[in-house]
Amino acid sequence: MTPEVKATYRMMLFVAGDERNSQTARANLHKLCDEYLRGRAVVEIVDVLTDYRKALEFRVLITPALVVLHPAPMVRIVGTLEDTEAILAALRLSSNGQRP
């Protein structure tokens, strides 16, 4: 990461082990970050099967779930993250990856 580019997005993806929907959400988030947030995102993967306390702390009851911590306000997105346009809207990004 270059000095001019800071990690402007902090996210946590809550998954349930290697369950199919969790795998799909991981892949979709990886693709989204590569295409729209390259070098601007820090993602923590939380497996609720091994770290349920963090899920309780962030009130995650369904997986997969993406919690966007920064920028504020905090946003929760539930599902496999397949709808790119909806995810970009939740992240307050345009289709070219820029903030409006």
> What pLDDT was estimated at residue 3?
41
Q: Largest Cα–Cα distance in the chain?
A: 38
> What pLDDT was estimated at residue 33?
94
Residue-by-residue pLDDT tens, the chain, 100 positions:
344 445 589 999 999 999 999 999 999 999 999 999 988 999 999 999 999 999 999 999 999 999 999 998 999 999 999 999 999 999 988 776 556 4
Q: Which CATH class is domain 9-90?
A: alpha beta
> What pLDDT was estimated at residue 99?
60
> What pLDDT was estimated at residue 96?
62
Q: Which two tokens stand for residue 17?
A: 């082990």
Q: Please tell me the pTM assigned to this model.
A: 0.86
Q: Which two tokens stand for residue 63?
A: 């997986």
Whether the Cβ atoms of residue 35 and residue 1 lie closer than 8 Å to each other = no
99 CB neighbour count, 10 Å cutoff: 9
